[in-house]
Amino acid sequence: MENHSMTNQKNLNLLLSGAIVIIAGIVYGGHPTYIMPELLGFEVVDLELKNMLRAVMGIYMGVGLFWVLGSLKPKLWYAATLCNVLFMGGISFGRIVSTLFDGVSPLFTPALFLELLFFGWGIYNLKKYKDIE
């Protein structure tokens, strides 16, 4: 049986990363014609690029919501944490590849460190809480 403190520690990774990814999704797709020039310095005029950014928003919001639900519903915790580890590991890998081939991004390097933190934290939680239901 889990105590309340253990439950909070176990779920914090999912809650924090879920909230951050939902917000990032809204930033990417909420109003790309305004946000992208301001944040990243490029214009979004093509319909296809707008569609892609809003699709990324939907992916981020859906995955982030799954993580939040996984923090609230014990039956979803393992799947949500595994999804979180795969997402954070995959996005970290992509940023590392970009850093090696394209150079260091001042804007996204802090994101890389956060993603690596959530990746490691998720692996730790999967190992620590594997026998707890």
Q: What is the pLDDT of residues 19-71, one digit of tens each?
A: 999 999 999 898 888 888 888 888 888 999 999 999 999 999 999 999 999 99
In a domain, 94, yes or no: yes
**Residue 1 confidence class, pLDDT cut points 50, 70, 90:** very low
Contacts of 18 (CB under 8 A, 6+ apart): 64, 65, 66, 67, 68, 71
Q: Average pLDDT in the 99-105 region?
A: 97
What one-letter code names the amino acid at 120?
G
Total domains in the chain come to 1
Residue 124: predicted pLDDT: 97
In a domain, 133, yes or no: no
63, 99 contact by CB (below 8 A): no
Structural domain boundaries enclosing 30: 4-128
The 3-state secondary structure of 27-53 reads HHHCCHHHHHHHHCCCCCCCHHHHHHH
44, 50 contact by CB (below 8 A): yes
In a domain, 34, yes or no: yes
